[in-house]
Amino acid sequence: MNINEQAKTEVMMDNFLTVEEICGLLKVKRGTAIRWISSGRLRAFKPGGGRVWRVTRNDFQRFIKGGPDFRAKFIEKGRTKC
């Protein structure tokens, strides 16, 4: 892979979040994020049939803007750790 291809790959990866990154940003457990994905509330995909879920930044922003008290529902239930 040459330098240009590597730079393009790095830029493309910046457009996606992993489940672990979402957990860190929202202070929720991994199981909570997986439930959101499984239920269809949070759009995600596994690139190339891989094992790691990816969420586009646009889909993530749409998800967190989805409800007025989105975070409060989960913090009140004590789901504050990843």
Is residue 19 one of the residues assigned to a domain? yes
The alpha carbons of the chain give a radius of gyration, in whole angstroms, of 14
Kindly give the confidence (pLDDT) of every residue in the chain, 82 residues in length, as a single tens digit, with 9 standing for 90 and above: 555 554 444 445 578 999 999 999 989 999 999 999 998 889 999 988 888 999 999 999 888 887 545 555 655 555 544 4
In 5-53, the DSSP E strands lie at: 16-18
Entry pTM? 0.66
Is residue 82 one of the residues assigned to a domain? no
Contact indicator for 31, 81 with CB cutoff of 8 Å:
no
> Domain count of the chain?
1
44 is in which domain, residue-wise? 3-76
Q: Which of 28, 23, 9 is nearest to 53 (CA)?
A: 23
Dihedral, 75, 41, 22, 9 alpha carbons, nearest 10: -170
Is residue 81 one of the residues assigned to a domain? no
Q: Is the Cα torsion angle 58, 63, 68, 71 positive or negative in sign?
A: negative
